Amino acid sequence: MLIKTFEGVDMNDALKKVKKELGGDAVILSSRKASDVSGGGRDGVVVTAGLPQIDPPWAHHLPGGPDESPDGLRLSEMDALREMIDRMEREWGPGASQTLRDLIARVGAVSDGGAAPLSPPFNPEEEAEKVLVEGGFSEQDRQEILEGFRLLSYQPVEWTPSQVRSLLQFLVSQKIDVTGSLFAAEGRPGRPKVVLFVGPTGVGKTTTVAKIGAGLVARHKKRVGLLNLDTYRIGAVEQLRIYGDLMGVPVEVANTASRLSGAIGRLSENDVILVDSAGRSDGGGEELLPFLSVLSSGQEYDLSVVLVVSAGQKARDLERTATAYQKIRPEALVVTKIDETGALGSLYGLLAHGRLPVSYVTTGQKVPEDIEVAHGGRLAEWMIEGWSRDGSGVRA
């Protein structure tokens, strides 16, 4: 901690000097009356203040160590704020970062001895906590987000509830990784892109396969084949066949690994092969391992495994699912049923710490409309503000 002593003609005067030199997160350690301030023989106060030398977590990722800037904010912190602004503009479009820009401008004004009030009109941290509780964020996730919030909201500016929400959205969006469309890159001719969808029972795997397949056929003019490994549930094969017929694409079924080579071989003329699998209540996709070894042997297919989870699952169940399916190495997530829950904060733990980017989100039962390419800013907005259908997402 950096400790310094300041003199003033009164408490207000001394505190202004503290703020000017140490910035808004200075801590007042002691104060006393003095009879000879600055050797001028006048009555006044002497204040001892300290500045905790806490670097924001992201400062460690920035080039150069922490340093002091003339306005009392550590340079690394200013750099971090600037980097945040840049990322915010990239993520949400021009103008999106106005809240942070205003904040930085006002921080400067306060440090310069400006007339901003010392105590904000309401407690932004309390408001942030309330928003996160309402959003269904777990205690642990709330603590993590509030830590970042504190670093950016400590300045005595007049926060409004909407600024609090903007900052929370921003902090949450920084933790969410997305893949963009899984089919954006042109595949190598003769080497189809194969995507295997895995996940617990009833999360929406088959429906997601149908939505993605229909979009690829109708809008992206891709040749698509569907493959079903789902032979456990009565009606499962039929469900995919109906979708395949509606789209006018071939559907194959393989219920054993030995039959897979033949089935997928018959689909290999397509650009994309979407593979549906059976949800098993007992599993983490262990039964799929023999299929996977067929799909990944040789260089014939460009294979991705995608884990499908439902936004309606509890945070702990989502983590349990992600851990169980680790053995089949999913590369990305699809989050379904966004429309079914009012509190999407339970997704935060998995999205922030599960180390899997999100590829698509689905927002209803309609095939093919209710799916979009995942976007970190939109997911964060839904987690803080709640989901509402606005039709402005990027279609799959």
Ligand X SMILES: Nc1nc2c(ncn2[C@@H]2O[C@H](COP(=O)(O)OP(=O)(O)OP(=O)(O)O)[C@@H](O)[C@H]2O)c(=O)[nH]1
Residue nearest to ligand X (CB): 279
Other CB atoms within 10 Å distance of the CB of residue 222: 18
Q: What residue 99 binds from ligand X, Mg ion, none (CB within 5 to 8 A, per partner kind)?
A: none
Q: What residue 5 binds from Mg ion, ligand X, none (CB within 5 to 8 A, per partner kind)?
A: none
Q: Applying CB under 6 A, does 313 fall inside the site for ligand X?
A: no
Q: For Mg ion, which is the closer residue by CB, 351 or 371?
A: 371
In the complex, the smallest distance separating the C-beta of residue 102 from Mg ion, rounded to whole angstroms, is 49
In the complex, the smallest distance separating the C-beta of residue 194 from Mg ion, rounded to whole angstroms, is 18
Chain residues 64-123 in contact with ligand X, contact rule CB under 6 A: none
Chain residues 318-337 in contact with ligand X, contact rule CB under 6 A: 336-337
Please name which of 87, 127, 178 lies closest in space to residue 379, comparing C-alpha atoms: 178
Contact 204, 196 (CB under 8 A): no
In the complex, the smallest distance separating the C-beta of residue 281 from ligand X, rounded to whole angstroms, is 9
* Distance, CA of 245 to CA of 232 (rounded, Å): 21
Question: Candidates 229-237, 295-303, 322-330, 378-386 — which segment interacts with ligand X by CB under 6 A?
Answer: 229-237
**Torsion sign (Cα): 70, 72, 76, 82:** negative
* Distance, CA of 133 to CA of 165 (rounded, Å): 13
* Distance, CA of 362 to CA of 318 (rounded, Å): 16
Q: For ligand X, which is the closer residue by CB, 166 or 362?
A: 362
In the complex, the smallest distance separating the C-beta of residue 184 from ligand X, rounded to whole angstroms, is 22
Q: What residue 393 binds from ligand X, Mg ion, none (CB within 5 to 8 A, per partner kind)?
A: none
Contacting residue, 169, 206, 228, 313, with Mg ion by CB under 5 A? 206
Tell me which H or E stretch contains 348.
helix 348-353
Relative to beta strand 193-198, strand 272-276 is parallel
Residue 52, preceding peptide bond in cis (omega within 30° of 0): no
Q: By rule CB under 6 A, what string of x and - marks binding of each residue 351-370 to ligand X?
A: -----------xxxx----x
If you search the block for the tokens 């000097």, which residue do you land on?
Answer: 17
DSSP state of 50: E
Question: Candidates 26-34, 197-205, 217-225, 322-330 — which segment interacts with Mg ion by CB under 5 A?
Answer: 197-205
* 39 token code pair: 């050797």
Q: Where on the chain is the footprint of ligand X (CB under 6 A)? A: 201-207, 230, 233, 236, 278-279, 336-337, 339-340, 362-365, 370
